[in-house]
A = this chain, B = another copy of it.
Amino acid sequence: MSLKKKINASILIIGNEILSGRTQDLNVKYLSEWLNNNCGITIEKVVIIPDIKKTIIKNIKELSKTYHYVFTTGGIGPTHDDITAESIAAAFKKKYEFNKQAFSILKKYYGNSGFNNARQKMAKMPKGSKLIYNPSSGAPGFMIKNVLCLPGVPSILQAMLPSTKTFLSKGSKVHTKSFHLVTVESNIARDLDLIQKKFRMHVDIGSYPFFRLGKIGVSVVLRGKNKNKISECSKLIQKMINLKKIEVFLI
């Protein structure tokens, strides 16, 4: 068992376009897997809210009190609906002002003539922010207190994540083991319940029905920070599969 402590985080998605269904969010899945695999950080809550200043302030205050880290996505571009930075400044009672380093990065990126007022806005952030380097499109993200602000465009967010690593404490990774079974949930529910009770301290067992290639199936997923316990638990699942003569999907 790793001696590293448990580190959790939440994601705050700021964007009318996600709430309205216009845009499919892809950042929760990527961020969650990346943070677990690279930093041992577990996402425990996600909240999606509209571009409304007082709503952003309220949620930032609540989440930053409750979780080790808060990752925000969206609302840090140059247009009128990009209000994440000023809202977070207000939440933490920090001045919302030009960050010299960000200003200089953006000036270099756009050139003197291209660095107009709208683009200059992207250099404004809460006083005392640390910059998150953006190798994809110039404009940096920032970290203030335990809140890390990232853009909403998935390709840019993904390119920036490695730059957040130096700011994050490492926790212990969640390991997983999956079984994809040609069966129905009600056929294995009783056994899964007994196995879950036996491992309740160390392993979370999830059961997820699926349809694939015309077959009905169930994915049984074991998750936990202790590799040995996952392995012990897997043996009991395998024993159940053998006893019940359940076919296993090879995927």
A97 within 8 A of partner (CB): no
> In whole Å, how far is A68's beta carbon from the nearest beta carbon of chain B?
15
Residue with the highest number of chain B CB atoms closer than 10 Å, among A24, A78, A174, A187: A78
Q: By the criterion CB–CB under 8 Å, are B49 and A33 in contact?
A: no
Complex Cα distance A83/B166, Å? 38
Interface size class of A (residues with CB under 8 A): 35 or more
B47 touches A19 (CB 8 A): no
Q: A residues near B, CB below 8 A? A: 13, 16-26, 28-33, 36, 42-51, 77-81, 116-119, 121, 152-153, 155, 174, 176, 185-190, 192-193, 196, 204-211, 221, 223
Q: How far is the CA of A18 from the CA of B47 in the complex (A)?
A: 13
**Stoichiometry, copies per complex:** 2
Nearest B residue to A74 via CB reads B208
A74 to chain B, nearest CB (A): 9
Q: Which residue of B lies closest to A23 (CB)?
A: B208
Cα-based distance from A69 to B213 in the complex (angstroms): 36
